[in-house]
Structure 1
Amino acid sequence: MKISSLFDAGNIEVVSLDRYDDIQLKIRKDNGSDFAQWFYFRLQGAPYQPCTLKILNAHECAYPEGWHDYQAVASYDRVSWFRVQTRYEDGALVIDHTPLAGSVYYAYFEPYSYEQHLNLVGQAQGSGLCQVSDLGNTLDGRDLELLTIGHEVESDLKIWVIARQHPGETMAEWFIEGFLSRLLDPQDATARALLDRATFYVVPNMNPDGSVRGHLRTNAAGTNLNREWQTPSLEKSPEVYHVEQKMRETGVDLFLDIHGDETLPYVFLAGNEGIPSFDARLAELQQRFRQHFLLASPDYQTEHGYEIDQFGDANMTLATSWVGETFGCLAFTLEMPFKDNANLPDDDYGWNGQRSLRLGEAMLTPIYGVLSNLR
């Protein structure tokens, strides 16, 4: 048997590989931080063997409660991913699976590779409706790309969508793929109507370094980007610094920050009730957006989510809080599950890349629903 993870987004450490029924592993922490939860590795040499893979340090991960009712994903070709039997017991995450081939991959969630990211950017540019620009370098020297879609005239509404501040939340970039696919479709009436009145600024991956390194939550320096928005720096968080600079240049009328939640098995939005400038106008906009989103996608719901901040209690280091307060605009954090969506469960696939993609397509509808009220 052999286990490897020296590939894009790979993350695992082998403790013991002596027996098929007692493969012992550990998740490697994000560089420079204590965050750990993302795993992605390849098992070879165990076809048709009933394997038991134990991640021994699951109880030490960032969100141990996220392991309850969680099922890992597996794939033979890294294209089709399915859920496999998984349990959390005695502080370890235990995967029970009999591979049907000599090579199989396991991951925390369906990966979205850097190669896929580059293809996504290239395909968007190839549509003829999208301009690709470089905002600056990451700490590892990778490009931080901005996709600009629209006429960029002063009268346009300015809509910003960013994803994957936390690199292990790969569902966020799957969401962006669906969002762009529909927005760039010249035959889609909603997309055409939006682009008649708005310019979209999309950052498909805020954290390419962490994505490639196999991090859960931080960039190359071990910085959680979604705690940097009040005081970003080129030394610790150039990704946020460069995006903020561009936002100040363009302005923002609507902001969406796309994430995944380790614990809650639901799709939900977190709003801005806690920012100092929250008022009746923003409250009405939030409610209108949510109502349109409920109609656009049955995967979205409003019953479960984060506790709503009291007025004035917002954490201003978060992207949604900082952008909403700085620009006086409607701003949301969208969360998708690592588990299944409890409202519409799927035993074979759970929540996955395709469902995230479809949610991205659906997002155009609530944006269109509030467009006339953003200013």
Structure 2
Amino acid sequence: MFPALEPELKQETLPDPYEDFMYHHLQYYGYYKAQRGTLPNSATHQHIWKNNPRYLLNGSFGKREDLIPDRLQKEKHLWPSCLPSTVRRQTGAMSRDSLMLSSPFVKSRQLLYDDIGKVNPHLREPRDLFALFSGSALLQAPRWPVECEVIKERIHHIEWVPPQPEYFYQPTGNEKIPEIVGEEKGTIVYQLDSVPTEDCYFTSSRVGGKRGIIKELSVSLQGPEDNTLLFESRFESGNLQKAVRVNTFEYELTLRTDLYTNKHTQWFYFRVQNTRKDVTYRFTIVNLLKPKSLYTVGMKPLMYSQLDASTHSIGWRREGNEIKYYRNTAEDGQQPLYCLTWTARFPHDRDTCFFAHFYPYTYTDLQRFLLSVANSPVKSQFCKLRTLCRSLAGNTVYLLTITNPARTPQEAAAKKAVVLTARVHPGESNGSWIMKGFLDFILSNSPDAQLLRDIFIFKVVPMLNPDGVIVGNYRCSLAGRDLNRHYKTILKESFPCIWHTRNMIKRLLEEREVLLYCDFHGHSRKNNIFLYGCNNTNREFWLHERVFPLMLSKNAPDKFSFHSCNFKVQKCKEGTGRVVMWRMGILNSYTMESTFGGSTLGNKRDTHFTTEDLKSLGYHVCDTLLDFCDPDRTKFMQCLAELKELLQQEIHKKFKELGQDMDLERSWSDISLSDVESRYQTSFQSKTRELNQKKTMYKKKKKALKSRKQRNKQYQRHTLMPESKLTEDAPERAGFPSTLQKPPAFFRTSENASSSMMKYEKSRLNKVLFFLCHAVALIFPISASPPQGEECHRPFIGGTLTLLWIGHH
């Protein structure tokens, strides 16, 4: 049964297995680094099956039942009587003090198996106890939900940067809008059998997903002349549910929703084979859910050719013409659907090509990178890899701690922390490319990187949602929920990745200051890269949360847009990482949004981002950290002064707009005059979309009940109006001129306006002026007389606005 091991066992009796196990266990912690003169036979055995790729660490991947189908056969493998007599005598010596092999009823998870289920009498390596991958360790195979079929073929793509800029597609206005035919008039050429939807929930996982034989879902070719494309998406991060052939070279595609939900169709990544050169194909995705997309402003899909990669080292490139994003008229009545259509020409006959929404970055890609770091004798000195937790499916969530060893305990305690995370939304692979750029730089031997490691402790979680990344979800975990809305959760078992991340940061805050928290995301409706932050109401640190984004925009002016940044904290975002960490005490708490498209700034205007562009932003984050923490505060104070000037300009601009347009119907609480930010309010728009969808589902809607405060205001407006009119004719109050008698020119209404409109506009105006006074008072001192002295350079506007508002009341 053990032909490879029998000669070794004949040489000498094996020592105590526990002693041998502990010896190799401690080797992982740096003990016994010198080689022993005579290794025990078990060490030789370990060498044999460590270098045999057929052997897997069964304890890390699944139960033994996954590999040995018959219970009696499993017991036979464990029963030592089945061994040859020579081997049995030697094995008996090893198992005298252990029940590992002595009983078929002892279910041990310490044994290793090969592909055909043969037992290997050795304790597996300790799990989650060592800092880094061992040099000869295999990558941990991804665990899939048991409902998912997974092909055995491994998918790998080369990295490549296009030599020329890839410009946006310029719409002509004549793009074809194909009619959606569907499977009634077309031919299904690919379809997943069973997809878990919102009616199901996650139960268990295993390596390789669904048990049994993998079915061939694509149609069978009728001969060499058959030009039907063969589709496939049952690989890591793949997403395609169905393909329907509606014409010779035209296909309608349906994306799979996030597992255990019925929504979130945006990410796509699939393979096509049996291509034909110099033929124009048309692909139409028919079930997208977002009403707005970057495809409407020139974004192109990505294509990858395996023949080009192998012969010319050409990787992912933007490909597509006649790109159109439009509403699907053939809806099912539940929610509006949208279509994306494009044409493409393949470079080779009978090639294997891939299409993707953005550059894929899988869980296996991450593990390969971490393994290279672990095997580096230099990087492993200041980068320690730990297991933060296990995901719902049992995949490892990795935590990296990066810092240079401190010379003294006082120096170690004085270091501030920086926390970076990515891929909480699995379909936003741009976050992984930025993270990779950051890690490449911070682990390099650059003087700036060494300085950053000297003064900071970096806590990095490079992939928060490995389950979603593996199965090809766009936004959710296997719990069917958006993890970036559950950072306040107490459900440790349902959201382990988020719970352990928050708990790690909480413990970190107890021992040191966390200077910055940043979660890397992707954005599907805006170009460029920008940050979402949190407004600080503490006057001592007023506008300080905007200094880091402004510095980043100066360091990466052709990629990062400060004017697209937003610093409002809305109620619907209370469960996001940036808001929860901000409320835990991290002043500089951000969500970094990187576009799926490209840049509209500087030298990169109207071009798509490449992976190199995103990785360069990881370097700029490091560069900006050095500027932000420079002991010479000149740059910091310059940015702060610039922010105050921008705020003043914004306030004057709002006054001017108010004078030109008296339409005060919109809510001023949604337009913060103290915010130097874009008017593009994504959260407000998403709220509006949700309301519109609800209106379509429920035609009749109840009238909103008024609050007590609203009822009191209405009562005062109707019953106390005569008294207020008498008050207006009375002498001036307390020495203040009545500004209502003579309002500023840009607040006047026409003489023909109705009295009800005048009352409404005055009440709205009072709110506006009060908000302006509050915003300005936080920057400028409020006094009844102009400030004295040469050292005060602030303009005297606080008192004037205060008087203006008091006069209105």
Trace 1:205-284 onto structure 2 (pairs within 5 A): 205-251=463-509, 252-273=514-535, 278-284=537-543
From 531, 549, 561, give the equivalent of 1:290. Answer: 549
> What residue number does 1:196 align with?
454
Q: Report if the CA contact (8 A) 2:531-2:592 is conserved.
A: yes
Aligned-partner Cα distance in 2 for 1:236–1:36: 23
From 316, 320, 323, give the equivalent of 1:81. Answer: 316
Q: Report if the CA contact (8 A) 1:50-1:98 is conserved.
A: yes
Amino acid in the other structure paired with 2:461 = V
Amino acid in the other structure paired with 2:236 = D
Q: Report if the CA contact (8 A) 2:434-2:618 is conserved.
A: yes
Q: CA deviation at 1:158?
A: 0.8
Q: Deviations over 1:233-266 (max 9, x none)?
A: 2232111011111112212321011111010012
From 177, 183, 191, give the equivalent of 2:442. Answer: 183
From 89, 94, 97, give the equivalent of 2:341. Answer: 94
> What residue number does 2:562 align with?
302
Residues 1:141 and 2:394 are matched in the alignment:
yes
Amino acid in the other structure paired with 1:53 = F
What is the SS of the residue equivalent to 1:51?
Answer: strand
> What residue number does 1:55 align with?
285
What is the SS of the residue equivalent to 2:470?
Answer: helix
Amino acid in the other structure paired with 1:88 = Y
Q: TM-score, normalised by structure 2?
A: 0.43
> What residue number does 1:17 align with?
245
> What residue number does 2:232 align with?
4
Gaps of 5+ in 2: 1-228, 329-338, 407-411, 634-809
Aligned-partner Cα distance in 2 for 1:218–1:87: 27
Amino acid in the other structure paired with 1:270 = Y
Amino acid in the other structure paired with 1:228 = H
Trace 1:331-350 onto structure 2 (pairs within 5 A): 331-343=589-601, 345=604, 350=608
Q: Which has the larger radius of gyration?
A: 2
Amino acid in the other structure paired with 1:332 = Y
Amino acid in the other structure paired with 1:261 = H
Q: CA deviation at 1:84?
A: 1.5
Q: CA deviation at 1:336?
A: 0.5
> What residue number does 2:266 align with?
37
> What residue number does 1:119 align with?
368
> What residue number does 1:154 align with?
413
Q: Deviations over 1:104-146 (max 9, x none)?
A: 1000101002221102222333312200000110011100000
Q: CA deviation at 1:291?
A: 3.0
Aligned-partner Cα distance in 2 for 1:130–1:163: 18
Q: Deviations over 1:58-85 (max 9, x none)?
A: 2xx2454344223111111477211122
Gaps of 5+ in 1: none
Change (3 A) 1:20 1:242: farther
User: How many residue pairs align between the two structures?
Assistant: 365
Which runs of 4 or more aligned residues in structure 1 lie more than 6 Å from their structure 2 counterparts after TM superposition? none
Aligned-partner Cα distance in 2 for 1:281–1:31: 47
Change (3 A) 1:65 1:112: same
Change (3 A) 1:283 1:264: farther
- Larger strand fraction of residues: 1
What is the SS of the residue equivalent to 2:441?
Answer: helix
Amino acid in the other structure paired with 2:401 = T
Aligned-partner Cα distance in 2 for 1:254–1:278: 18
Change (3 A) 1:68 1:280: farther
From 254, 268, 271, give the equivalent of 1:26. Answer: 254
Q: Report if the CA contact (8 A) 1:5-1:11 is conserved.
A: yes
What is the SS of the residue equivalent to 2:584?
Answer: helix
Aligned-partner Cα distance in 1 for 2:290–2:461: 26
What is the SS of the residue equivalent to 1:258?
Answer: strand
Aligned-partner Cα distance in 2 for 1:346–1:76: 27
Amino acid in the other structure paired with 1:184 = L
Amino acid in the other structure paired with 1:234 = K
Aligned-partner Cα distance in 2 for 1:288–1:89: 39
Q: CA deviation at 1:13?
A: 2.0
What is the SS of the residue equivalent to 1:111?
Answer: coil
Q: CA deviation at 1:88?
A: 1.5
Aligned-partner Cα distance in 2 for 1:346–1:111: 24
Structure 1 stretch displaced more, 174-183 or 14-23: 14-23
What is the SS of the residue equivalent to 2:600?
Answer: coil
Q: CA deviation at 1:166?
A: 0.4
Amino acid in the other structure paired with 1:249 = R
Structure 1 stretch displaced more, 87-96 or 279-288: 279-288
Amino acid in the other structure paired with 1:297 = A
Q: Report if the CA contact (8 A) 1:36-1:216 is conserved.
A: yes
Amino acid in the other structure paired with 2:324 = R
Q: Deviations over 1:76-109 (max 9, x none)?
A: 1477211122321343211210111321100010
The alignment-based identity, stated in percent, is 22
Aligned-partner Cα distance in 2 for 1:185–1:22: 48
What is the SS of the residue equivalent to 1:122?
Answer: helix
Q: Report if the CA contact (8 A) 2:517-2:586 is conserved.
A: no
Amino acid in the other structure paired with 1:241 = W
Aligned-partner Cα distance in 2 for 1:20–1:240: 47
Aligned-partner Cα distance in 2 for 1:280–1:119: 47
- Larger helix fraction of residues: 2
Amino acid in the other structure paired with 1:11 = N
Aligned-partner Cα distance in 2 for 1:314–1:272: 14
Aligned-partner Cα distance in 1 for 2:389–2:486: 17
What is the SS of the residue equivalent to 1:141?
Answer: coil
Amino acid in the other structure paired with 2:532 = A
Amino acid in the other structure paired with 1:121 = L
What is the SS of the residue equivalent to 1:120?
Answer: helix
Aligned-partner Cα distance in 2 for 1:53–1:156: 53
Aligned-partner Cα distance in 2 for 1:315–1:50: 44
Structure 1 stretch displaced more, 33-42 or 243-252: 243-252
Cα root mean square deviation, aligned: 2.2
The answer to which structure, 1 or 2, has the higher relative contact order (CA under 8 A, 6+ apart) is 1
Q: Report if the CA contact (8 A) 1:20-1:52 is conserved.
A: no
Q: Report if the CA contact (8 A) 1:63-1:263 is conserved.
A: no
Aligned-partner Cα distance in 2 for 1:63–1:109: 19
Q: Report if the CA contact (8 A) 1:63-1:262 is conserved.
A: no
What is the SS of the residue equivalent to 2:367?
Answer: helix
Change (3 A) 1:63 1:338: farther
